Amino acid sequence: MSVTLKSSEDIAQMRVAGRLAAEVLDYIGPLVKPGVSTGEIDRLCHEYMVEVQGTTPAPLNYAPPGYQPYPKSICTSVNHVVCHGVPGEKKLKSGDVVNIDITVIKDGYHGDTSRMFYVGQPSIQARRLCDVTFDCMWRGIDAVRAGAHLGDIGFAIQSHAEQHGFSVVREFCGHGIGRKFHEEPQVLHYGRPGTGLRLQAGMIFTVEPMINAGKADIRQLADGWTIVTKDHSLSAQWEHTVLVTETGHEILTSSAGTPARPHAAF
């Protein structure tokens, strides 16, 4: 029950796992188009991980306490689905937005990252939500450095989301990650500056805000996994795995295709 500091060997392996997770998103991005089903996206990602990368999809059969084993290799969360959307027959259509969340295991280490993808042309509202959520993730990441507190991350995210009239999902959070998929600490996406755990160099965790266009309330579907907004408003999420360093942070889930961080003021 504690937050581990990673060794330099752990960190080297987490860089590899993180890059590989991001590369699955690079691979699948161009294939996210109207008419493709989320099940097909899952199958393509699964094959890429297992056959091209030699990685293991961490979600497949993942069963935290209180959950049935997750049946697929990735999560695909479309429109009002907040997270843990289970891939299936449903075909994507123009105007949809979808979060694809990839977690790979390489040599026992986990890399976890997600991005939003537009299917055809997004509405102005959907584009705005995805952009603000991206900026929320980066504001959170920018608060990461040795000596800062977890509450600084949550505050940075929450204040930006709420300034834009959006709401932060409370029930799910970022997490420590390493040899285990979900470790301590819990990285809340809301909070107050200067509160919570003090960050130390060598900690590794995810920052993965889920932001709703409407109210924050969520509901779980009967499949035991899929989380949707109660009011059916759109929801967006972005995720990186991040290493705390003395001077700031290092993004572990970057690849050739990782969208650039916002520049200047955002």
**Residue 239 contacts ligand MF3 per CB under 6 A:** yes
**What's the half-sphere exposure (Cβ side, CA atoms, 13 Å) at 217?**
4
Compute the least distance from the CB of residue 230 to ligand MF3, in Å: 20
Exactly one of 38, 55, 206, 226 binds Co ion (CB under 5 A); that residue is: 206
Tell me the C-alpha distance between 214 and 223, whole Å: 24
**Residue 183 contacts ligand MF3 per CB under 6 A:** no
DSSP string of 3-58?
PPPPPHHHHHHHHHHHHHHHHHHHHHGGG--TT-BHHHHHHHHHHIIIIII--EET
Tell me the C-alpha distance between 183 and 238, whole Å: 19
Nearer to ligand MF3, 182 or 261 (CB): 182
**Contact pattern for Co ion over residues 210 through 239, marking x by CB under 5 A:** -----------------------------x
**Residue 87 contacts ligand MF3 per CB under 6 A:** no
Q: Which does 59 bind (CB under 5 to 8 A by kind): Co ion, ligand MF3, none?
A: ligand MF3
Compute the least distance from the CB of residue 8 to ligand MF3, in Å: 25
**Residue 173 contacts ligand MF3 per CB under 6 A:** no
Residue 175 near residue 183 (C-beta atoms within 8 A): yes
Nearer to Co ion, 184 or 231 (CB): 184
Q: Which does 238 bind (CB under 5 to 8 A by kind): Co ion, ligand MF3, none?
A: none
CA 210 → CA 40, 160, 194, 216, distances in Å?
Answer: 24, 13, 22, 9
Residue 211 near residue 111 (C-beta atoms within 8 A): no
Beta-strand relationship, 109-118 and 97-106 = antiparallel
What is the binding site for ligand MF3 (CB under 6 A)? 59, 62, 70, 75, 84, 101, 103, 112, 206, 208, 225, 239
